[in-house]
Structure 1
Amino acid sequence: MSKVTRATRVLEQARVAFAVHTYDYDPDADKVGLQAAEALGEEPQRVLKTLMTLVDSKPACVIVPSDREVSMKKLAAAFKGKSAEMMKPADAERITGYKVGGISPFGQMRPTRTVIEAEAMTHELVYINGGQRGLQVRLSPQDAVALLKAVVASVVA
């Protein structure tokens, strides 16, 4: 497995401090984010999952703790929209340039507006997908927000 991806290159170019962590990705896991947390030996609240959504039919990226579910109503409100829904996997792969299970908010093919769950900001360091299945980057959530120009909001159910 390569530890250099578009996501890690973006982080390096931005001079963001991060560490790369790999684990055995299980494509058959019921909850990929929880499987990543378990494989890394980390609390699920610190291992964030990256989900691609549509808010008022426009792409949006949402980053939440792996043990939480997104409230579509709260997500829409975070972007001052009326409705939100999950993006189809094929569309998510086309828009981001990453495979489902390896979607990173960093280095996507098309920059997408992003929201990070407010709970994530309570941790010194969090894990976010590094652009490949089985690859996570550990970094400060504040650095992630700054680099992604993300909105911080409570979007979990």
Structure 2
Amino acid sequence: MAKEKIPKTNAMRILDRLKISYEVLSYQCDEFIDGIHTADTLGIPHENCFKTLVLQGKSKGYSVFVLPIEEELNLKECAKAVNEKSVEMIHVKDINAVTGYIRGCCTALGMKKEYPTIIHESALDCPYICVSAGKLGVQLKLSPQDFIKATGAKALNIIHE
């Protein structure tokens, strides 16, 4: 039986253009549950699977934060990382308007606009990370250094310890 071909997403096209190698991982997903479910379905260690959250600062600017799926953001550290007085999560209903993606498949690669991106520093200790490919049921596996190169992300401590 032939393996189903997955159409290229914006994230994949960006990585292709930058000549960055990646692996596409896919699974049946009719409705997004959470990153832990995704990691378990694909057999990925939780520390290698990263979620993407978008926050808005007091200045009304947006920032993207990429962190391990089991962790929670430290909003004070996030605000400091993007030179804001404070930051808060954008509402789920605003995700598509701000990023071009829907809940469950948001990725820092290929958003409508480029926003400052911060990845949790633990990514640097991983041989690879998995992030959404911008489509439900599709993940990208790549080196954290290549992700940083593609997104211009800074690696900082942005989670609760």
Structure 1 residue 3: deviation in Å?
A: 3.5
Measure how far apart 1:42 and its partner are: 1.1
Identical pairs, percent: 26
Question: In the alignment, what sits opposite 1:39?
Answer: 41
After TM superposition, give the deviation of residue 43 of structure 1 in Å: 1.1
Q: Give the structure 2 partner of residue 132 of structure 1.
A: 135
2:13 pairs with 1:9: yes
Structure 1: which 4+ aligned runs deviate by more than 2 Å?
A: 24-29
Q: Which runs of 5 or more residues in structure 1 are unaligned? A: none
Q: What SS does the aligned partner of 2:71 have?
A: coil
Structure showing greater Rg: 2
Contact 1:3 1:20 survives alignment (8 Å): no
| Most deviating of 90-99 and 117-126 | 90-99
Alignment TM-score, normalising by the size of structure 2: 0.91
Tell me what 1:21 maps to.
25
Q: What displacement does 1:153 show?
A: 0.5
Tell me which residue corresponds to 1:93: 96
CA distance in 1, matches of 2:44, 2:98: 29
> How big is the shift at 1:140?
0.5
Q: In 2, distance between residues paired with 1:92 and 1:78?
A: 21
1:117 Cα deviation after fit: 0.3
Once the 2 structures are TM-superposed, how far is the Cα of residue 75 of structure 1 from its aligned partner?
Answer: 0.6
CA distance in 1, matches of 2:53, 2:61: 14
2:52 maps to 50
Deviations 1:14-57 (A, max 9, x none): 1111010002336363xx11111101111111000011111232
| Structure 1 pair 91–28 and aligned structure 2 pair: CA distance change class (3 A) | closer
TM-score (norm 1): 0.93
SS at 2:46 equivalent: coil
CA contact (8 A) 2:32 2:104 kept: no
